[in-house]
Structure 1
Amino acid sequence: MGEFHVGNPVFVTYLIAAALMVFKLMGQGWMTVYRMMRAKAGYASPEDLRPGPLNRAPAPAQLELNDYVDRSRRMHRNDLENIPGFWVAGLLFVAVAPPLWLAQGMLFGFVAARVAHALAYAMALSHEVRATFYTIGSLIVAGMALYALVAVL
């Protein structure tokens, strides 16, 4: 079984961080849907204009860009670009048995960076603020991958 068991606190740390990122990723998708329904705008595809129980009075303007909806969609796309790499790098990292303090710092550090990035995006803070949190998360993922690579070379 190696390092991948719930008796290993490093793996448990990964499980918690990875599960939190599942909720973040999936929750952002639901947030986008909620915003589309609330605004009755920002729909993505022409077929979204077909009448149905959730859109009884479709209008072509619903396909126009809506920043309230699109901001959530951009946040979701950003999560899709970053979180899967974290899941993979995190598993590689756990496989080489890092010290618990380092694992907790890196894994929970990534979670904190993604939460801070989401808050900065949701509050429309400057690009520099968002980029700072993105950079922290990105460096953590790269650091975990590098740590795993060096450990096996």
Structure 2
Amino acid sequence: MELSLQNPVFATYAVAAALMILKAVAMSWLTVARMMQVKGGFRAPEDIRKTPLNPDPDPKQIEPDERVERIRRIHQNDLENLPFFLAAGFLYVLSGPPLLLAQLLLYGYVVSRLLHFAAYLTAQTHDMRATLWTVGSLILIYMTVSALLAALGI
């Protein structure tokens, strides 16, 4: 198994992993943008000092703001799931899967996470978010078990 971008299975993993990393990093930016938009949802007492970015500080700015907290929860969910995807996907690539199946699983995971993000951002029901999370989780389980079986020679 060649780990280079000339290997289409590894290239598929690289694209999927890069998209997921960029999405997780973007959540930090989205959190800051939302805090600036609502002028609140800050976390630390020093955040309400007068600065060029906060010319009119108010103690209420460190109170939780649901619009900011929603983004933080989405980001936390990414941080809880992304490491498993990066590890499971890499191990799966090492198992030498067929390209089409690898594309289906790796890109399927990305799509499930993007849809989960959209559902969470738009305050869809827990059932909807759980369904989308479950799709991604089942993909992770499949890839991990496949890698384990391949490593055991089964």
TM range (shorter): over 0.9
Match of 2:124, SS? coil
| 2:132 aligned residue | 133
Match of 1:124, SS? coil
Match of 1:76, SS? helix
| 1:27 aligned residue | 26
| 1:18 aligned residue | 17
Q: With structure 2 as the length reference, what TM-score do the two structures score?
A: 0.96
1:111-150 → structure 2 map (5 Å cutoff): 111-150=110-149
Q: With structure 1 as the length reference, what TM-score do the two structures score?
A: 0.96
The amino acid across from 1:35 in the alignment is R
1:1-150 → structure 2 map (5 Å cutoff): 2-150=1-149
Partners of 1:150 and 1:129 in 2: how far apart? Answer: 32
Partners of 1:121 and 1:139 in 2: how far apart? Answer: 19
Sequence identity percentage: 50
Unpaired segments ≥5 residues, structure 1: none
The amino acid across from 1:133 in the alignment is L
Partners of 2:57 and 2:146 in 1: how far apart? Answer: 52
Q: Which moved more, 1:47-56 or 1:13-22?
A: 47-56
The number of residue pairs the alignment matches comes to: 152
Runs of 4+ in 1 over 6 A off after TM superposition: none
Deviation at 1:6, TM superposition (A): 1.3
Unpaired segments ≥5 residues, structure 2: none
Match of 2:106, SS? helix
Q: Deviations over 1:94-130 (max 9, x none)?
A: 0111111110011000000000000000110000000
Match of 2:144, SS? helix
CA RMSD of aligned residues (A): 0.9
The amino acid across from 1:15 in the alignment is A
